[in-house]
Amino acid sequence: MNPEWTQEHRNKGIREVPRDILEWANIQEFRESPPGALIASVTDHSPGAVAGLKKGDTVLSLDGDPVLSSTFSQQFQVGNGKVRILDVLGQDGSRREVFITPVWIADVGRWVIGVSMVIDEHRDNLRIPEGEKHRRIPFELGASLREKVRGYVEISKSKDVKESARVLSRYVLFFTGKDGRSMEVDLLERWNMQSVECVVDPDLSPSGSYDFASRRVSVRMLVEALTPHVLAHEYRHVDQNENPSFRSAMDLYESVSKKKYEDPAHWTKKIRSGGWKILARAFVEGGIVKTFEEAKPYIQSVKERFDEYDQAVQALEELIDGESNVKDQLRIGAAKQIKSLLDERVWSAFIANVNSENGLASSFGGVRVEFNGVDSQELDGVQREDLLKKLRTYVALDAFFQIVSVIRWDQAVLDPSTNCLILSRPSMNLRLAIPLREEVSQEAEKVIKDMQETLRMTIDDYELKLDLAREAKRAAFESLPDASTEVVESLTVRDILRLPTLRIERDAEYGALVALRSLKKDTGIDLLGSGEEVLVMMEERQGVPPSLQLAKMTSSLGQIENYMAKIGVSIPCVRKVIVETRKQRKEKEREEVQREAA
């Protein structure tokens, strides 16, 4: 990520505060939203009570993420009941870490901890006055910042978003210019977020999200100290969407806020449906290697498993095709023999009758025909017409094809009492009795029996082979990689498939910090908290590009590497493994060359 991408923002969205806004601001009460969620009550013997939570405690964060009273319960609906970590501020000012495990209540279909929160109306009230199209809300940011920052937001309703959400049209911060004038900066305008729809959704489980398909930015917190950082992060996603270097990676992006991101079954399905090539793409789009070919050596063992499965599938398909071809050849051979046994005069008359324009005659030239269990001579005109349509569908003009078509029917039986070949097609409710030449009835019986016996033996033989082939395919499928399959040393399939997402998220997080630093340079507004630098921490981690080392941040906003650790293996760690693997491979090749030379 090039940190100079913020150059286009320079002085953008910055203006002198309009007179009407100054007059409005002079009569407003700018209040800071208190951090965390205040506990109103704790149910006896509940997970909250067992963990030691008390009325009056304030929950500052859940698993490191800031919380709101209105969405605190919602944040517990992800994680499948795993142990969660709360940062809790007691009434006495003490701070402690609380480990808590929610329980599933089937009656309400939710994970609960037995704690209710105090709802802060100033923080969570997104109501718009009756008859108004929008609302302007003053606020003050101060938590974790060097100096307090005042500003306002403008929200409006929209039929395109749900009732509890609001469209955010302006996010303005006030500052004093170098010449002493009252100035403002609209962050949405500065970061070009007016090109996408920006929504405030109090039910959102992550702090923010960007839908690449609908081009919609959503934030959970309206006037929190972290909101500008979230907006900058999501804006970077908007910018990535227009960036050719990220466009191909978007196909492999997975939202880290969705439940399936943590589900191993999701990654297993992804690798088994996408094959080894999706793994190679993840290496490339994750920024680990430059080309598809460079990725192949690292996924060779995975590729071999898919090759084995493909071979098993091909063998099964060839057997299925072969069975069909053999059956066809047997039927054609039998048809040729039976054709010579038919009374040609009677058969020709039958064909001519079926294909003639006056084929409604009750007789079919000596061939007895039953339709729906009724002799053709007893059918009415409509029934005969329906019968003729079915016969013409299965009896063609070509004599050879005619007999083949007939022999394909479900049953072929010789009736010695009438010296007829009985052919029936139960699915069509058709039954034909075709006379044979008088002197060949025994020969016809032998032909039919031989054909049916050979067909039965052939089918039995193929069924055995098919069972073995199906079992081989099943075994090959079971051996395909799953989410936990190791690809390179300690790196699993899931780690590799997450690389494009990690690259996109890591770039967005750094981009947000660069944007906030640029904002500070242009306006003096410092939204980076205490300003504590984590540059040393980043330099200690191998593989961090020099262009990214300009980004500095504080623990109040969450360190980038800690953020990356939450959503998967970090890209520098993967690069380190790849480098070590490449060294080991070259060393092994060198040893093999030396052995051959000796």
Amino acid type, 290: K
**Distance separating alpha carbons of residues 422 and 412, to the nearest angstrom:** 6
Mean pLDDT, consecutive 10-residue stretches, the chain (598 aa), reads 53 89 88 75 90 89 74 68 87 88 80 77 63 86 74 86 84 92 93 84 76 82 80 87 84 82 90 92 89 89 93 90 75 71 78 68 73 85 82 58 54 77 79 78 71 76 89 93 89 90 85 84 79 36 35 40 66 75 75 78
**Distance separating alpha carbons of residues 464 and 300, to the nearest angstrom:** 33
On whether the CB atoms of residues 155 and 126 are closer than 8 A, the answer is: yes
Q: How far is CA 220 from CA 65, 112, 204, 241, 313, in A?
A: 12, 21, 5, 22, 48
**Distance separating alpha carbons of residues 68 and 35, to the nearest angstrom:** 8
DSSP-based three-state secondary structure for 585: helix
Q: How far is CA 187 from CA 79, 109, 411, 517, 525, in A?
A: 33, 39, 79, 13, 12
Q: How far is CA 180 from CA 139, 301, 526, in A?
A: 22, 67, 18
- How buried is residue 139: exposed, middle or buried, by Cβ count under 10 Å (0-12/13-18/19+)? buried
Q: Which of 75, 71, 125 is nearest to 100 (CA)?
A: 75
Q: Which of 262, 298, 301 is nearest to 574 (CA)?
A: 298
Query: Which secondary-structure segment (H or E) carries 150?
Result: strand 149-156
Residue keyed to tokens 């999706």: 278
Q: Which of 451, 426, 412 is nearest to 328 (CA)?
A: 451
Strands 149-156 and 166-176 turn out to be antiparallel
Query: Which secondary-structure segment (H or E) carries 521?
Result: helix 499-523
Q: How far is CA 534 from CA 360, 373, 538, in A?
A: 94, 88, 6
**Distance separating alpha carbons of residues 285 and 500, to the nearest angstrom:** 5
On whether the CB atoms of residues 227 and 219 are closer than 8 A, the answer is: yes
Where on the phi/psi map is residue 45: left (φ > 0), alpha (ψ -120 to 50), or beta?
A: left
Tokens representing 69 are 């009273």
DSSP-based three-state secondary structure for 488: strand
Q: What is the largest CA-CA distance in the chain?
A: 121
**Distance separating alpha carbons of residues 13 and 522, to the nearest angstrom:** 11
Tokens representing 75 are 């944040």
DSSP-assigned letter for residue 114: S
Q: Radius of gyration of the chain from Cα atoms?
A: 38
Domain 37-119, classified CATH 2.40.30.10, yes or no: no
Question: What are the residue boundaries of the structural domains of the chain, listed by start?
Answer: 3-29+123-250, 37-119
Tokens representing 7 are 């150059």
What pTM was computed for the model?
0.66
On whether the CB atoms of residues 314 and 306 are closer than 8 A, the answer is: no
Q: Which of 251, 238, 305 is nearest to 276 (CA)?
A: 305
Amino acid type, 21: I
